[in-house]
């Protein structure tokens, strides 16, 4: 039941000698999802041992170059690799126009279909769903239409206590009924509550990506209780006003978002190139929210299984 996030890039606007532009890889139960696609992202995927052809979907937060310039070369490369299954891309308008021009001039005979799903950045909407996971959009506050993404694991099916089977002499039909969440009626007419018979093997886990954005109380409310929160922290606390003017967040904004959302852990990234080291930034966050961590490139953050509360 793997659920982990690998950082592929955490720089803002322009790359630096030590950091690439925004991109992250989310792995859940053997499926791979890319969040944003800064320049050179396909090379970084290969470096962490993931062939781009394995991607199920790509989620683009907004149409600034540092979040999308790496997508189109990767689309071409996957064609050269012989990809045949569709690639689903979730992005705000007018992404469709950019995609159409790329296909017209560079990939006129692509071996697979690129399916664009428009993200309404004003709405909190279900974007993607499979049998184990949902991905929801989170409206953000930036200079252009922008959305965050909330990866929410679905609740696992109910398991039945082995001792309950023996105690009540449950048959296959009764066990099946209990696993559907129903109470069970015994042969003598007694009704045993489902709560007494079953348990969930683990509690659903979640990951939220909030970048690029100013502090947003609405976004915070939509990711309440998240296990791992990535929140941009482009600037140190001293530049909080400048951050807001540019549609970005400071370290104290990110820490506030983590604290008020009830997040278990905070990752900060999207750092301005003015910073050559990040000790100051993480210390400012930890002063406000102890479980704060740097989004270091090529580092993987696992979201461990947890018991149902």
Buried-state track 198-210, b at ≥16 Cβ within 10 A, e below 16: beeeeebbbbbbb
CA 108 – CA 105 distance, rounded (Å): 7
Given a contact cutoff of 8 angstroms between Cβ atoms, the answer to whether 119 and 94 are in contact is: no
d(CA 45, CA 24): 9
Predicted confidence at residue 306, as pLDDT, reads 81
pLDDT of residue 309: 62
Cα 172 from Cα 230, distance rounded (Å):
45
* Burial letters 53-70, b for 16+ CB under 10 A, else e: bebbbbbbbbbbebbbeb
Residue 66 is among the residues annotated as catalytic for this protein = yes
Q: Dihedrals φ, ψ of 29, to 5°?
A: 50, 45
- pLDDT tens digit at each of 309 positions of the chain: 899 999 999 999 877 777 899 999 999 999 999 999 999 999 999 999 999 999 999 999 999 999 999 999 999 999 999 999 999 999 999 999 999 999 999 999 999 999 999 999 999 999 999 999 999 999 999 999 999 999 999 998 888 989 988 898 898 888 998 899 999 988 888 998 999 898 888 899 999 999 999 999 999 999 999 999 999 999 999 999 999 999 999 999 999 999 999 999 999 999 998 888 899 999 999 999 999 999 999 999 999 998 776
Which one of the listed residues 66, 107, 212, 253 is annotated catalytic? 66
């Amino acid at each position: 039941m793997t659920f982990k996030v690998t950082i592929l890039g955490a720089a803002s606007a322009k790359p630096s000698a030590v950091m690439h532009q925004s991109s992250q890889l989310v792995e859940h139960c053997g499926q791979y999802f890319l969040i944003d696609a800064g320049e050179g992202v396909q090379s970084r995927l290969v470096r962490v041992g993931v062939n781009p052809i394995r991607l199920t979907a790509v989620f683009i937060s907004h149409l600034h170059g540092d979040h999308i310039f790496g997508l189109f070369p990767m689309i071409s490369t996957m064609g050269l690799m012989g990809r045949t299954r569709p690639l689903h891309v979730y992005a705000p308008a007018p992404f469709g126009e950019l995609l159409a021009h790329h296909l017209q001039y560079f990939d006129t005979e692509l071996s697979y279909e690129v399916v664009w799903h428009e993200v309404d950045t004003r709405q909190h909407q279900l974007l993607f769903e499979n049998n184990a996971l949902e991905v929801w959009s989170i409206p953000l506050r930036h200079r252009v239409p922008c959305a965050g993404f909330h990866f929410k694991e679905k609740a696992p099916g109910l398991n039945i206590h082995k001792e309950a089977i023996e105690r009540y002499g449950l048959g296959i039909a009764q066990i099946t009924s209990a696993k559907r969440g129903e109470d069970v009626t015994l042969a003598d007419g007694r009704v045993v509550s489902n709560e007494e018979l079953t348990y969930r093997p683990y509690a659903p886990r979640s990951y939220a990506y909030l970048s690029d954005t100013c502090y947003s109380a609405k976004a915070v409310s939509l990711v309440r209780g998240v296990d791992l929160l990535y929140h941009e922290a482009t600037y140190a606390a001293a530049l909080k006003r400048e951050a807001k003017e540019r549609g970005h967040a400071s370290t104290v904004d990110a820490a506030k978002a983590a604290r008020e959302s009830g997040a278990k852990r905070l990752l900060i990234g999207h750092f301005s190139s003015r910073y050559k080291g990040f000790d100051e930034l993480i210390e400012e966050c930890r002063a406000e929210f102890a479980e704060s961590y740097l989004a270091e490139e090529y580092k993987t953050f696992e979201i461990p299984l947890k018991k149902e509360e």
